[in-house]
């Protein structure tokens, strides 16, 4: 209201103004699509800087921001296997200005790992687009006595209680637990805020192995600081062509991959979801994006919002089986 005009009584002029205001309100949904985005967008990543999810987010933020004509700011909120970041998004307004680059941790696995979740991975989020499939790689320090996976398993059997592994997310944790279960070896889990910290300790000889994203290990594999024993998928990974699948070199039937997808808080308008899905998939389809993701060991695996919603349901069931097979208990 403007000064003394706030006290105006209803007049014909005020009534006409009110009618125009009502009409404008009715038109807002149609206009919102054209107006969005009108300010900076925050893309929350639930893992620390340098993690594979962070690397993916920073590439997409730059490219999709250019498509949308607005800056996308990456905001890292790691902790509790990504639950801290996800819970913050779940509490945010569903206006399209807070987005979440999720993984299987918060949207498939954690419901099977935590007795109490700070959010509902289905009811508290709006699915926007599935983005990538993420094979993992098992690595040891260059000075570790085992030269391949079969030797690693033999070492574990001969030295019970001497193996430890680092995990910075549920993918790395479940993948390592599956090795323990299938190989019948003992290993102690050391939990980290993210995989970069686990790799630091692996390089320093403070833990014996890590199974994690290619993006955070390839540099060290290539320079000889780490030795790759195998990738977790039954197909080889293009950025590590000389590293065999673990299923071929000691663990028959081993097949494991993580994934990522884009979500918003609940109640993001359908037109905003559509615009975001179109922009992210446009970037994912470019040759630049395909090369970028191949180089860091991720595979584009995109979908519609409905496709992501269905993927979460199927993956939640699958991760329940994986975690049960791995022997992990709820905390």
Task: Give the residue, 233 or 15, on which the prediction is more confident.
Answer: 233
Exposure pattern of 202-212 as b/e (b: 16+ CB <10 Å)? bbeeebbbbbb
Task: Tell me which residue of 288, 291, 225, 231 sits closest to 257, measured CA to CA.
Answer: 231
> pLDDT, tens digit, for every residue of 158-181?
999 899 999 988 888 889 988 998
Alpha-carbon separation of residue 132 from 57, 80, 151, 311 (angstroms): 11, 22, 32, 12
Q: Is 71's pLDDT higher than 80?
A: yes
Q: Find out whether 120 and 278 touch, Cβ atoms under 8 Å.
A: no
Percent of the chain whose predicted confidence (pLDDT) is above 90: 69
Strands 257-265 and 188-191, how do they pair? unpaired
Q: What is the pLDDT of residue 173?
A: 87
The confidence band for 318, taking pLDDT boundaries of 50, 70 and 90, is confident
| Average pLDDT of the chain, as a whole number | 88
Per the listing, tokens 């293009």 go with 238
Domains delineated in the chain? 38-134+258-326 (3.40.190.150), 135-248 (3.40.190.10)
pLDDT at position 34 = 55
Give the pairing type, strands 125-141 and 226-231. antiparallel
How long is the chain?
331
pLDDT in tens, 178-228: 899 899 999 999 999 888 899 999 999 999 999 998 988 999 999 999 999
Residue 295's pLDDT is: 87
36 pLDDT tier (thresholds 50, 70, 90): very high
Structure tokens at 22: 């009502």
Q: Is the pLDDT of residue 13 over 90?
A: no
Tens of pLDDT along 278-296? 999 999 999 999 999 988 8
């Amino acid at each position: 209201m403007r000064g003394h005009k706030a006290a105006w009584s209803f007049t014909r002029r005020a009534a006409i103004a009110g009618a125009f205001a009502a009409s404008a309100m009715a038109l807002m949904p149609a206009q919102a699509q054209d107006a969005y985005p009108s300010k900076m967008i925050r893309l929350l990543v639930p893992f620390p800087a340098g993690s594979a999810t962070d690397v993916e987010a920073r590439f997409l933020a730059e490219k999709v921001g250019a498509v949308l004509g607005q800056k996308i700011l990456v905001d890292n909120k790691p902790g509790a296997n990504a639950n801290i970041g996800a819970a913050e998004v779940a509490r945010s307004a569903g206006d399209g200005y807070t987005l979440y680059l999720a993984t299987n941790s918060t949207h498939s696995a954690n419901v099977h790992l935590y007795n109490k979740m700070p959010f509902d991975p289905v009811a508290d989020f709006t699915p926007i687009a599935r983005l990538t499939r993420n094979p993992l790689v098992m690595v040891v320090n260059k000075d570790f006595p085992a030269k391949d996976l079969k030797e690693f398993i033999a070492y574990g059997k001969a030295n019970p209680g001497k193996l430890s592994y680092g995990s910075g997310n549920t993918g790395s944790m479940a993948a390592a637990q599956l090795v323990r279960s299938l190989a019948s070896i003992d290993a102690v889990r050391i939990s980290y805020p993210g995989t970069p910290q686990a790799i630091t300790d692996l390089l320093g000889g403070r833990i014996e192995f890590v199974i994690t994203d290619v993006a955070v290990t390839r540099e060290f594999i290539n320079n000889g600081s780490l030795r790759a024993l195998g990738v977790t998928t039954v197909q080889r990974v293009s950025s590590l062509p000389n590293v065999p699948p673990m299923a071929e070199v000691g663990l028959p039937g081993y097949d494991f991959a993580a994934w990522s997808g884009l979500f918003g808080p609940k109640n993001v308008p359908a037109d905003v979801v559509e615009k975001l899905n179109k922009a992210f998939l446009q970037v994912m389809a470019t040759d630049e994006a395909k090369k970028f993701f191949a180089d860091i060991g991720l595979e584009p695996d995109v979908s519609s919002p409905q496709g992501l919603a269905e993927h979460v349901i199927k993956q939640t069931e699958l991760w329940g089986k994986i975690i049960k097979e791995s022997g992990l208990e709820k905390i």
